[in-house]
Amino acid sequence: MSKENYACKSKRLKRQIKDLELSIVEIEQEIERLMQSNATLAHQHKLLCSSDGVGKKVAVKMIVETNTFKDFKNARQFCCHAGVAPFRYDSGTSVRSKSKVSHRADKSIKVLLHLAALSVATRKKDGELREYYARKVAEGKNKMSVLNAVRAKLVLRMFAVIKLN
C-alpha cells in the first residue's frame, strides 16, 4: 500500500470514527431524554443508579431488558436469563459435575453485569461487595465464581430497590 493510499484510507477511517462517536453521543442523549420523559422510567432509573456499582448504562439496560421490571417475577428468574445463576449437573446416581452457568444466556446483559461486578469488587473504595469478594477469594474460592456471585448480588439488589419502592 502506498503512502498516499494509506493517508487517504486513514483520513476516511478517522472521519468515520468521528461520525460514529457523534452518533453515539446523540443516541445517549436521546436515551436520556426518553428516560426523563416518562415518570416511571425516570424513577426506576434514579433508584437503580443509587445502587452501588450500577451506572447509567446498566440501569437503562436493566429497565429495557426487564420491561420496567414487569417481565420477571423475581431476581432469580432474571439471573437465569442473564446467565448468572449456576445450575448443578448430575445424571443418575454416579455422574455429578460442579455447578455451571448457562451458555444460552443474554450475553449483552451478562457483560454489563460482569463489568459492574468487577468495578464493585476491585475498586479501592470500601464497600460490602468488595469485602465479600476479598473474603471469598481469601478462603480459596475461584475468582470468577466469586465474581459471578457478586453479579447475582447486584441483580438481587437492583430488584429489591425497584420492588420495595
The three-state DSSP-derived secondary structure of 61-118 is HHHHHCCCCCCCCCHHHHHHHHCCCEEEEEECCCEEEEEEECCCCCHHHHHHHHHHHH
Q: What is the pTM of this model?
A: 0.83
- 128-149 average pLDDT score: 94
Q: Which pLDDT value is given to residue 124?
A: 66
For 20-30, how does the pLDDT look when each residue is reduced to its tens digit (9 = 90+)? 999 999 999 99
CA distance 37 to 108: 25
For 67-85, how does the pLDDT look when each residue is reduced to its tens digit (9 = 90+)? 999 999 999 999 999 999 8
pLDDT(34) > 90: yes
pLDDT(127) > 90: no
Q: Which pLDDT value is given to residue 123?
A: 81
Residues pairing with 97 in the sheet: 89
Q: Cell triple for residue 67?
A: 420491561
Sequence ranges of the domains in the chain? 1-37, 51-163
Average of per-residue pLDDT values in the chain: 90
Q: Which pLDDT value is given to residue 71?
A: 94
Rg (CA), the chain: 20
